[in-house]
Amino acid sequence: MKIIPAIDILGGKVVRLRQGDYAAKTVYSADAVKLARQFEAEGADRLHIVDLDGAKAGKPVNCELILRIRKSVFIPIQVGGGIRTVQAAKKYLKAGIDRVILGTAAIPIIRKLGAERVMAGLDLRGNKVATHGWTKTTTDYPDFARKLRALGVTEVICTDIARDGMLSQPNITPMLKLKKMGFRVIASGGVSDVTSLKKLRISGMSGAIIGKAIYEKKITVREALSAVRPASGLAKRIIPCMDIKNGRVVKGVGFKRLLDAGDPVAFGRYYSDQGADELVFLDITATVEKRKTLAELVRRVAREINIPFCVGGGIRSLADIKVLLKAGADKVSIGSAAVYDPAFVTQAARRFGSQCIVISVDPKRVGDRWLIYTRGGRTQTKIDAIAFAEEMERRGAGELLVNSLDRDGTKKGYDLELLRAIASRVRIPVIASSGAGKQKDFLEAITLGRADGVLAASLFHYGKVKISDLKRYLKSHSITIRP
């Protein structure tokens, strides 16, 4: 269940109202951007922003401030309040807001815009939907909900106005009913303590918006996350990566300078003994012969090594994948081919199973976004990296390998913002790659970047960091690690 702190904006300041009453407001902060950053740093899954001036005026008022928040954090943001025209909705979506929340004008806007990036806000007074800044009360919510369902809306926010800002308990009855109708339901209003969170989670709610309780310091974002975090024994993974050229391991710096070094199987065995959780072999040979040499290498590794390994480099057909999986690879990593032919990913996942398809995502920062690069970091595309990652998940990718081109070879640490931006938006595992310089970098990739695994190459190959030491270090910082 996602923990979604709320930031309500009135007159440019962060406030909480009681039961939607503009006269009953408390101002908590003059710096919405700082607050957003704080929530993100504490681990919030998403942010919920309401333009209260907008809700009253019937059109966005605090748009500029909201877009400034968008530029300052990397987790998903949902925005509501006065979005009553297609134009207003589009403006937010184009600027990178993940979801617009529609209430009053939900149905006419969805009819024109589609339901894909829309969430419907069902603000309830009793059994009726309230609109226009909660000043009007209209239809019974099941009827309204049915219409939304018919238009393809999948996610709704259910707020009980009577409980909003009252530090009570959430009204779970309409939420359960909406869930039964097939919606993913985000609960709002009265989410005030660990008990209410646990109850919402058990009831199968997909998210909980927490407002007043955070501002009145009844609960922190961290406590909320702890309360709903599912128990899991799954360890984070440490993955050494070997670049292979003509069947030999090469030590690489960036994608361009190369030094020849050694036997892949010997490397594999060494790292496996050190405690590596998986291995990645990336073939950077440019020739046509490469396919045969790579398959032979895979066969040798599969015979000798008993931990999982992934192989990649120039994979662009189902036949390529079949040969490598048959030779004994557990997974294959696809790079440029996924960018130029996304349908290939769908086919590969369907044919071989998602669990063996890893997509290599190579982004570089361009302005305030990341764009995808291909061909070993040499060619820029116009494709937004975050959108690409989400699309790859939709197409059936089993895992994402995120290689920051800005950090590659720099030893300045992983690109935590990039990792967080991707990890907070996909449900498949994300492996951090590129930039490791010291042990702390691995820790931060996991805690701040929210990565499921961490990959490094030269740091391990040059013996700067030993995997066994690294694992002890991570364990001492409470990361679940396989010894």
Catalytic residues: 243, 362
Answer yes or no whether residue 230 interacts with another protein by CB under 8 A: yes
Answer yes or no whether residue 307 interacts with another protein by CB under 8 A: yes
Pairing of strands 399-403, 357-361: parallel
**Pick from 232, 288, 343, 367: which binds another protein (CB under 8 A)?**
232
Shortest distance (Å) from residue 353 CB to another protein: 6
Residue number, 230 or 367, with CB nearest to another protein: 230
Binding residues for another protein, total number by CB under 8 A: 34
Of 84-92, 149-157, 225-233, 279-287, which part binds another protein (CB under 8 A)? 225-233
Residue number, 272 or 433, with CB nearest to another protein: 272
**Pick from 313, 398, 435, 449: which binds another protein (CB under 8 A)?**
398
Shortest distance (Å) from residue 443 CB to another protein: 17
- Residue 143: strand, helix, or coil: helix
CB contact burial 281-292 (16+ within 10 A = b; e otherwise): bbbbbeeeebbe
Report the C-alpha gap between 401 and 237 in whole angstroms: 13
Answer yes or no whether residue 304 interacts with another protein by CB under 8 A: yes
Shortest distance (Å) from residue 329 CB to another protein: 10
Residue number, 123 or 399, with CB nearest to another protein: 399
Give 146's contacts (C-beta < 8 A, 6+ positions apart): 181
Report the C-alpha gap between 113 and 96 in whole angstroms: 16
Rounded to 10 deg, the angle between the 141-150 and 106-113 helix axes is 10
Note whether 192 and 219 are within 8 A (CB): yes
Shortest distance (Å) from residue 114 CB to another protein: 23
Task: Using the structure block, give the residue that is written with the tokens 């300052």.
Answer: 72
Answer yes or no whether residue 306 interacts with another protein by CB under 8 A: yes
Residue number, 136 or 350, with CB nearest to another protein: 350
Shortest distance (Å) from residue 204 CB to another protein: 8
Answer yes or no whether residue 231 interacts with another protein by CB under 8 A: yes
Here the tokens at position 421 are 């931006």
Shortest distance (Å) from residue 305 CB to another protein: 9
Residue number, 52 or 224, with CB nearest to another protein: 224
Shortest distance (Å) from residue 221 CB to another protein: 18
**Pick from 68, 111, 303, 378: which binds another protein (CB under 8 A)?**
303
Residue number, 367 or 483, with CB nearest to another protein: 483
Of 12-20, 48-56, 323-331, 471-479, which part binds another protein (CB under 8 A)? 323-331
Q: How far is residue 184 from each of residues 45, 133, 209, 396, measured CA to CA in Å?
A: 16, 23, 14, 21
**Pick from 159, 206, 333, 374: which binds another protein (CB under 8 A)?**
206
Report the C-alpha gap between 123 and 161 in whole angstroms: 6
Answer yes or no whether residue 478 interacts with another protein by CB under 8 A: no
Q: Which of residues 340-369 bind another protein (CB under 8 A)?
A: 353-355
Residue number, 25 or 472, with CB nearest to another protein: 472
Report the C-alpha gap between 288 and 316 in whole angstroms: 13
Q: Quick one: residue 86, left, alpha or beta (phi over 0 = left, psi -120 to 50 = alpha)?
A: alpha
Task: Quickly list H helices, 78-220.
Answer: 86-94, 106-113, 141-150, 172-180, 194-202, 212-215
Report the C-alpha gap between 387 and 57 in whole angstroms: 32
Report the C-alpha gap between 24 and 365 in whole angstroms: 44
Burial of 238: CB neighbours in 10 Å, binned 0-12, 13-18, 19+: buried
Q: Which of residues 100-159 bind another protein (CB under 8 A)?
A: none
**Pick from 70, 179, 212, 237: which binds another protein (CB under 8 A)?**
237
Q: Which residues bind another protein (CB under 8 A)?
A: 1, 206, 230-237, 272, 277, 302-304, 306-308, 325-326, 328, 330, 353-355, 398-399, 427-429, 452-453, 482-483
